């Protein structure tokens, strides 16, 4: 049950989102990236279904419409299309890649399979002056990824940029405010792409760049205060940045009416409980209740080695603990959650949002429904990097704001095989060495997630003069923007050597350390 009054989208942010840009998603892996890039220009941006009607767009009255790329070909039957009426609303439209092909196809041009599929960097030359390329050099590097291209512009489009193999790399319509780019301005491989998007959203669409996170925080806090009134709110803390930012905003809004619950499931990292309590109580004086539930979780996990069964049992135990504690809080009416915009999009929960690409994991499901609270989700409109910036502006410490993500089921899914107190201790010590050494090398912020995994493998070694038959630690460190794909971090050999030596010398029961060099896909970031 979501309380409309507390749902940050669209009511809370109404004042700040008057000037919005919408991205219609045609199945591009980059749709979210486009939205983030637009927001970097201080312009609010939302992602909508590709088939949203022109009528609905008229009601929403965005300042501009961006048609994303996508894997289809416009001439295929069943290819996703947009309502052609949107080109005639008088709202500026920018088609990117597939989006450009759609615009040209809908307005008299022709799209064909290119003789040479173009993928990678290309040099783009300005062919005619236009507002889109205003202030940009005559020649610039762009990133192409397409099999189709516009072969015939019809009589209403003109070419404004070209590359060696793509004669119409960017186009504009003669009568309508419709533009297209065959390349991708949103990716970092188009170094001046930000300026191109800025030209579109600021100059062509006329947005004046009012979307500021500080204003967002102020408006949201005021709104939360007003809607919550004198009721109590419960907030679960996980040690991660999202729940901390939610708690910080609520604390600013309602102070003593907020109660936070930290369930220590015995599966946290080394010293994590103390760090959360410390960071939290140093920054707020909010009511914080720590539930010590190690025993409960470990007995639920006894003898369980199958990953999904581990998750299921942890989920159940979590709901029970949280419920017991929450029911002790008199008059609690709302439950705060750190749902972010990508969660809203990926769960298909956004009004007019793109159809669900259902998120497969992972978070403990069913909590709000089980408990019967109304939900407060003040971060529903934000991307992760915005949440981090917001956290810093709310005064949260960098150590918390930049902490690597940690899965809800905690060390249980990094302790392969049986989860016992002893094996968790081994894992915890090894993990602290991995993270500690990466931090000491100044590489923590340059990696996205770094941790140790305890394998269900014993192997032979020799220590001193004695033969050992001990456990194996795998070190995992990945770099990623979105956690949907990831590559293994190219950590320096001497750092890996230090990690390995320290783990084998300092962690009893471990005689072998491996480095995981798999990317995602086909591997995942976690091992279970
Ligand atoms: P994978 O392993 O699927 O992980 O590549 C992608 C991201 O999700 C995190 N993850 C989880 N987070 N509950 C969570 O809250 C889970 O069950 C879970 N499993 C994976 C993982 O740490 C990575 O950041």
Q: List the residue whose alpha carbon is closest to atom 14 of ligand 1.
A: 407
CA nearest ligand 1 atom 10, residue: 407
525 CA to middle of ligand 1, Å? 7
As a whole number of angstroms, the distance between CA 21 and CA 17 comes to 9
pLDDT of residue 155: 94
363 CA → ligand 1 middle, Å = 9
Q: Which of 45, 50, 82, 97 is catalytic?
A: 97
283 catalytic per annotation: no
Which residue's CA lies nearest to atom 22 of ligand 1?
407
Query: DSSP strand E in 344-414: where?
Result: 374-377
Digitized pLDDT (tens) for each residue of the chain, 528 residues in all: 333 334 434 444 455 667 899 999 998 888 988 998 999 999 999 999 999 999 999 999 999 999 999 989 999 999 999 999 999 999 999 999 999 999 999 999 999 987 777 788 999 999 999 999 999 999 999 999 888 999 999 999 999 999 998 999 999 999 999 999 999 999 988 999 999 999 999 999 999 998 888 888 998 999 999 999 999 999 999 888 999 999 999 999 999 999 999 999 999 999 999 988 888 888 778 899 999 999 999 999 999 999 999 999 999 999 899 989 998 999 899 999 888 887 787 666 676 777 544 333 444 445 666 678 898 999 998 988 899 999 999 989 898 899 999 998 999 999 999 999 999 999 999 999 999 999 999 999 999 999 999 999 999 999 888 999 999 999 999 999 778 788 999 999 999 999 999 999 999 999 999 999 999 889 999 999
All residues at 6 or more sequence positions from 197 whose CB lies less than 8 Å from its CB, including other chains: 34, 37, 38, 41, 185, 186
In the annotation, is 97 catalytic? Answer: yes
For the full predicted model, state whether its pTM sits above 0.85.
no
β-sheet with 374-377: strand ranges across: 2-7, 374-377, 332-336, 232-237, 258-264, 287-292
Question: Please, what sign has the CA dihedral across residues 59, 65, 71, 72?
Answer: positive
Atom of ligand 1 nearest to the CA of 486: 5
Catalytic residue among 50, 184, 333, 404: 184
Nearest to 32 by CA among 371, 484, 473, 360: 484
């Amino acid at each position: 049950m979501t309380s409309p009054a507390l749902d940050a989208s669209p009511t809370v942010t109404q004042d700040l989102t008057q000037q919005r840009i919408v991205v219609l998603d045609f199945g591009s892996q980059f749709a979210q990236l486009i939205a983030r890039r637009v927001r970097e220009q201080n312009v609010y941006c939302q992602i909508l279904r590709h088939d949203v009607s022109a009528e609905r767009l008229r009601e929403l009255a965005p300042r501009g419409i961006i048609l994303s790329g996508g894997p289809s070909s416009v001439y295929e039957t069943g290819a996703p299309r947009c309502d052609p009426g949107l080109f005639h609303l008088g709202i500026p439209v920018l088609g990117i890649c597939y989006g450009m092909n759609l615009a040209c196809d809908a307005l008299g041009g022709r799209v064909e399979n290119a003789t040479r599929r173009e993928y990678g960097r290309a040099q783009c030359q300005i062919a005619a002056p236009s507002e889109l390329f205003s202030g940009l050099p005559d020649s610039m590097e762009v990133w192409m990824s397409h099999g189709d291209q516009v072969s015939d512009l019809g009589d209403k489009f003109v070419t404004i940029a070209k590359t060696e193999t793509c004669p119409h790399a960017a186009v504009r319509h003669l009568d309508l405010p419709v533009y297209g780019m065959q390349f991708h301005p949103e990716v970092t491989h188009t170094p001046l792409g930000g300026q191109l998007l800025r030209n579109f959203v600021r100059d062509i669409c006329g947005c004046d760049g009012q979307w500021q996170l500080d204003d967002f925080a102020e408006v949201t806090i005021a709104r939360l205060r007003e809607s919550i009134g004198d009721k109590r709110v419960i907030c679960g803390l996980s040690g991660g940045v999202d729940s901390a930012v939610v708690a910080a905003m609520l604390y600013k809004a309602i102070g003593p009416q907020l109660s936070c619950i930290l369930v220590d499931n015995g599966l946290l990292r080394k010293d994590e409980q103390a760090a959360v309590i410390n960071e939290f109580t140093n920054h707020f004086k909010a009511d914080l209740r720590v539930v010590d539930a190690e025993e409960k979780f470990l007995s639920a996990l006894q003898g369980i080695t199958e990953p999904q069964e581990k998750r299921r049992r942890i989920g159940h135990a979590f709901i029970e603990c949280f419920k017991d504690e929450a029911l002790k809080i008199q008059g609690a009416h709302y439950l705060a959650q750190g749902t972010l915009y990508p969660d809203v999009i990926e769960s298909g929960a956004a009004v007019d949002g793109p159809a669900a690409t259902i998120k497969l994991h992972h978070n403990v499901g069913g909590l709000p429904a089980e408990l019967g609270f109304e939900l407060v989700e003040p971060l529903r409109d934000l991307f992760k990097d915005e949440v981090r910036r917001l956290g810093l502006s709310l005064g949260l410490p960098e150590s918390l704001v930049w902490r690597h993500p940690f899965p809800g089921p905690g060390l249980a899914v990094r302790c392969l095989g049986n989860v016992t107190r002893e094996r968790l201790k081994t894992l915890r010590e090894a993990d602290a060495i991995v993270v500690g050494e990466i931090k000491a090398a100044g590489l923590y912020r340059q990696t996205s997630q770094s941790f140790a995994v305890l394998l269900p493998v014993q192997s032979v070694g020799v220590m001193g003069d004695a033969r050992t038959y001990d456990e194996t630690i795998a070190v995992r460190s990945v770099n990623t923007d979105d956690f949907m794909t990831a590559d293994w971090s190219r950590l320096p050999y001497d750092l890996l050597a230090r990690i390995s030596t320290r783990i084998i010398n300092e962690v009893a029961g471990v005689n072998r350390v491996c480095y995981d060099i798999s990317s995602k896909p086909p591997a995942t970031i976690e091992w279970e």
